[in-house]
Structure 1
Amino acid sequence: MNETFTVYLAPHGFLQELIDEINTNIICSKGHLILVKGSPKKFAWAQNTWLSPRFIPISSITDGAKKLLSIQRNWWLHSENHHRRATLIQQQLPYVSAKKLHFGEIPPQTPLGSWTLWEKDIILASPDCSSVFPDGVITFHENKIEPPSRAYLKLWEVFTRFSFVPSYKELCIDLGASPGGWTWVLAKLGSSVISIDKAPLASHISSLPNVEHYTGSGFRFTPLHIGNVDWIFSDMACYPNKLYNFIQPWIINKNCHTIICTLKLQGKPSNSTLSCFKKIQSSYLIHLSYNKHELTWIYSTKYPLVML
């Protein structure tokens, strides 16, 4: 293939969402890999982006391994077909670990290429990818004792991928906080947390000394009610349009430097809705490894949004 193209990897179960988001210039797809004409672009539903893909003809398993190693050392196999043959090639490459991270641990720093056996004797490989994590997926050693829900993993992932966390005693507002998964993360970091929800927090979260809980709808709390804060977090179950309207005063009036929200998507997501969030300057829309049928939107005027 002589023309420039990019390969996008869709998260498991969300191939159609990525196809709909890309919309044009799709060459073909195989499994969860989508080949698209042109240079790389940011797509929220792309789990990983292969930035410099090329087809490599091979004559044998050993030849395939040698040709990959002639490009670079570290490769991750994304297997869609010819699984046994692909595995035998990968076994001749240096071992790459996909170990779980402890939150706060420094993530991998070495670039990681991705490849697949496109046909029996043709490798599709990219030495450069958008993520340093294998297939763009990050997994953690989970805390199954303290947090009252698994939602905390989404915040762990955001903080790890973008290399920032709230500073000690910064003021954080957690909207739709119950039962307190995100509040737990923020409190453990030493932030001052105001949690807001119609439902109560788990008792061991509400009793934390740096947590204040208010009963009510998160949408009632605007800059007029609260004034300036450092961070706003929202994992509320609501329509994306309603969330978009809610965040506008905070951005326009510059009352907050960083906002992290979950966009809960009911049914087929509207590209026009997603486009509204994408167009906001200093923001990033992503499907996290720990997102389900939802996306995470990050906005910051304090931190550069460079994702690992």
Structure 2
Amino acid sequence: MKERLLRELTVRFHIKSSQCKEYGDLIYCPGWELTPGSTKTPYGTYSLPYWSRTTYIEPFIAEFASIGEAARLLKNIQRSWASYQFTQFRRATLIQDKLHYINLKTRTFPCSIPASDIGAYTLLDQNTLFASAKTSSYLPAGALVLEEDHKNPPSRAYLKLQEALIRASSVGGGCFRTPSDIVGLPQPYGVPLPSEGMRCLDAGGSPGGWAWVLRELGCDVVSIDRSELAPSLMSDKKVTFLKHDVFTLTPEELGSFDWVFSDIICYPERLLTWIHSWLDSGLVCNMICTIKMQGEINWDVIDEFAKIPHSTVMHLNYNKHEFTWIHTI
């Protein structure tokens, strides 16, 4: 992902790689301050990189002589910290043990992300740390790691939807939105998860990873794809399968839904048009869609997704060369 982030910094933010310092997967851009107007966007403010799991918003470098001194230095700034490390792993663990406890374990779906500030720090060497009390995520190092089910889901795509739903049901989508005009961070979410009796559309559903998640939550699912779902889902009375091109069916033909989901492979421009057709129809309030990247990214198009009210674009831990767009009301 680091190469993609570097490319975004170059193309979207006009920051040359030669201006950046790399610490493992952490990229530091000295002199780049997040102040209103510092980055040109369609909003007239500034934004954060989409490829970034978390951003150190106010970074600083500090030296320390001992593990205890490093822990005291961080605790004097704020309560909660988590680390990203590319070196000095044992030393970082000993520092973390002296800090306020935070949950670094894998999480079980469904769960929520506490909306509490968490700083991030990285050891550059034995006596130097790079840190920021203010970050763009409520998650340790920005990563949401889930317990995996290796038996029941028909594909690993289920993890993407589980993560997206956790973010949609958590205040701020698990991200710290400050100051208020940062573009690229979620609107205040906190909507209830899809549940028993809700009607959900699953576009591009085969082999059924997302439909499986929705059925586990008790939803009624309409799945549309040119290929069938896994046999267990095809025989499920709560799953209606339509062998069809989803783009040739209008919202009016399909009816209203509590949630609309899409993991379909298509160009972002086509997905954006399809999303607007649903939002304009008034037949859905909540949507989660995967934006699949093909070739060089058109950042103006990605920004169009982010500009939709009550929406955000983010790169999930379980995304590959793709982003996830989340819209809730």
> TM-score normalised to the size of structure 1?
0.84
| Structure showing the higher strand proportion among its residues | 1
Q: Within 5 A, what are the aligned runs for 1:54-93? A: 54-81=60-87, 86=92, 89-93=95-99
Unaligned runs of at least 5 residues, structure 2: 36-45, 170-191
User: Is the Cα–Cα contact under 8 Å of residues 5 and 52 in structure 2 kept in the other structure?
Assistant: no
* 2:209 maps to 1:165: no
**Which of 95, 102, 105 is the matching residue for 1:99?**
105
Distance 1:212 1:291 in 2: 27
Distance 1:170 1:96 in 2: 34
Task: Sort the Cα spacing of 1:12 and 1:99 in 2 relative to 1 into closer, same or farther, 3 A.
Answer: farther
Distance 1:84 1:256 in 2: 50
Which position in structure 2 is the counterpart of 1:146? 152
Letter in 2 for 1:177: G
Distance 2:133 2:118 in 1: 7
> What root-mean-square deviation, in Å, do the aligned CA atoms of Structure 1 and Structure 2 show?
2.5
Which position in structure 2 is the counterpart of 1:227? 255
Letter in 1 for 2:145: T
Which position in structure 1 is the counterpart of 2:55? 49
> TM-score normalised to the size of structure 2?
0.79
Q: How far is the alpha carbon of 1:138 from its aligned partner? A: 0.8
Q: Give the secondary-structure state (helix, strand or coil) at the position aligned to 1:49.
A: coil
User: Is the Cα–Cα contact under 8 Å of residues 194 and 211 in structure 1 kept in the other structure?
Assistant: yes
Distance 2:166 2:210 in 1: 15
Moved more, 61-70 or 235-244: 61-70
Which position in structure 2 is the counterpart of 1:15? 5
Which position in structure 2 is the counterpart of 1:207? 235
User: Is the Cα–Cα contact under 8 Å of residues 112 and 167 in structure 2 kept in the other structure?
Assistant: no
Distance 1:100 1:87 in 2: 17
Distance 1:136 1:119 in 2: 22
Which position in structure 2 is the counterpart of 1:258? 286
Q: Deviations over 1:121-142 (max 9, x none)?
A: 4422222322222211111111
Letter in 1 for 2:326: I
**Which of 28, 35, 43 is the matching residue for 1:34?**
28
| Count of residues paired in the alignment | 291
Q: How far is the alpha carbon of 1:150 from its aligned partner? A: 0.6
Which position in structure 2 is the counterpart of 1:245? 273
Unaligned runs of at least 5 residues, structure 1: 1-10, 303-308
User: Is the Cα–Cα contact under 8 Å of residues 206 and 229 in structure 2 kept in the other structure?
Assistant: yes
